[in-house]
Structure 1
């Protein structure tokens, strides 16, 4: 199967060897090399496809993200493309084994595209169908993902949309990979995408993010919400009391299970509504995790894999807001 990427095409499915769409006549290969073979997902600002790179003999698979323009003003389109390439440069600098590699970015037929490494594996929402996470798995998740957040925050990048669907357990090594950074912010500000100004899923976003401000602590809040979702299988907002502005996640743990005071303290601090009471940086969380695992029960000592936090930050959190922080284009 080959998919036609023309947004106006009414019958996008084509034979696997076709070079031109049988319905609309569009060229089916992006840049004469990337063949879309499966629709992976869609949102308010575009679609994501699984594709193969026919320019390489092994024909490796990759992920192609297509962003749609809805404003016909050529000046706005030109500006959006310029912003897109600036964001792509930012993404290209995020070289980390737990972030997909950027392979290409380009414009074709007034659409813009990102081509990225395809991560083979299941996301954590899919894993949740097999049962809730126990305490050990939550400790492991925090140890695996916090260094990734520390890395991107030190690059002055904020993810904005951390949730189980955007965390993939890579099949080859069981490492957690962070996907789908919030590129749509700049393009939305240009009024070219039919998307809400808010980047992020409302069940997981921090309160300040709803007001248009983001900080490293905003990602940490979303990570905390992700943890309690994995521990309970309960939709996050069902565990939040708007009147007291508190999370009551312990009341939703499966019958017969409990959480140690050490982990509970870490999660509660990740989930604080007020920034002044929440962890500010990933390295602060890592410090507490290392201390907790150092003094915790024997059954958790096997998890201890201390990661030395980087305490010197190249920026001040008060200056890292939505208008100043580059938002990477995934």
Structure 2
């Protein structure tokens, strides 16, 4: 599936958690089997705090089916202006991006209060889920992280900062050949003026750069998050000189002061490439 993972987030409304759950399930049942735009909805494949993702497929007037897509739908009980603006900004940002390591968006649909984003469908799951369910070699993990880094280099070149880079937001195909950054709900334009605070605090505590807590960030916030990820998922698997080299990359990427970090992902990728070369020339450095 595009994102074969169920995430149940803790949140309540005035009617309590039971009321929210009931509305959520009723909304899911109403959508399955319906047609939005040219796509028929078949099943829910991911559930989040503000939106669900469904598997859909293009259906033509003669009854034939076309491409399979993922359809992200804003929850009907998340109709505050802030949530709608955040949802639409994610669509706007992703529509600008075309890169093998960034999930592609084909379009959006608004039907009354219903807001949808149509995205490419990838058979697989999040990097977190893949690592929990499969035995993945150190070399393949390095490959996935290398592709992730290339995606970050691209979005930064497009003047966008993700602000929520974590293993759960790295989509990987079942054969581990396709790697895509997903969930741009907290993303911001880097051209935002320094005095303009982001619309909402983004990120997950473990991977969040310190400056994000004050509402200010640039590409170095993503560099920090990526540094935490490689320290968590790759560093413990390395030995010898590869471990030493990657340890230096992680330390520089995750410094408290953003001025002390890599200034760009390209600089980090340059050093990360040295670790890559070391693994290729000396496979014994992989635990």
- Which category of TM-score, normalised to the shorter sequence, fits these structures? 0.7 to 0.9
Q: How do 1:138-217 and structure 2 match up within 5 A?
A: 138-171=141-174, 174-182=177-185, 197-217=200-220
1:245-284 CA-to-partner distances (Å, cap 9, x unmatched) read xxxxx7xx48x96762111111221222221221121100
Q: Distance in 1 between matches of 2:253 and 2:187?
A: 26
Question: Is this contact kept in 2: 1:45–1:68, CA < 8 A?
Answer: yes
**Structure 1 residues not aligned, in runs of 5+:** 1-5, 19-27, 187-195, 232-249, 304-330
Residues 1:48 and 2:53 are matched in the alignment? yes
Q: Does the C-alpha gap of structure 1 residues 275 and 297 become closer, same or farther in structure 2, counting only changes over 3 Å?
A: same
Provide the aligned C-alpha RMSD in A: 3.8
Q: Secondary structure at the match of 2:233?
A: helix
Mean Cα deviation higher: 100-109 or 53-62: 53-62
Q: Distance in 1 between matches of 2:173 and 2:93?
A: 24
Residues 1:282 and 2:265 are matched in the alignment? yes
The runs of at least 4 consecutive aligned structure 1 residues that moved more than 4 Å come to 6-9, 69-73, 83-87, 130-135, 183-186, 256-259, 291-297
Q: Does the C-alpha gap of structure 1 residues 130 and 230 become closer, same or farther in structure 2, counting only changes over 3 Å?
A: farther
Q: How do 1:44-193 and structure 2 match up within 5 A?
A: 44-55=49-60, 57-68=64-75, 76=81, 80=84, 88-130=91-133, 136-171=139-174, 174-182=177-185
Q: Distance in 2 between matches of 1:162 and 1:71?
A: 23
TM-score (norm 2): 0.72
TM-score (norm 1): 0.64
Question: Of Structure 1 and Structure 2, which has the larger fraction of its residues in helix?
Answer: 2
Displacement of 1:94: 0.4
Displacement of 1:106: 1.8
1:290-317 CA-to-partner distances (Å, cap 9, x unmatched) read 345557783259x9xxxxxxxxxxxxxx
Q: Secondary structure at the match of 2:66?
A: coil
Displacement of 1:185: 7.5
Q: Does the C-alpha gap of structure 1 residues 173 and 8 become closer, same or farther in structure 2, counting only changes over 3 Å?
A: closer
Q: Distance in 1 between matches of 2:128 and 2:42?
A: 24
1:170-190 CA-to-partner distances (Å, cap 9, x unmatched) read 24671311111125889xxxx
Q: Distance in 1 between matches of 2:76 and 2:267?
A: 41
Q: Secondary structure at the match of 2:129?
A: helix
Q: Distance in 2 between matches of 1:72 and 1:262?
A: 48
Partner of 1:263: 246
Residues 1:30 and 2:46 are matched in the alignment? no
Partner of 1:244: none
Q: Distance in 1 between matches of 2:27 and 2:152?
A: 41
Question: Is this contact kept in 2: 1:161–1:199, CA < 8 A?
Answer: yes
Q: Secondary structure at the match of 1:168?
A: strand
Q: Distance in 1 between matches of 2:118 and 2:134?
A: 33
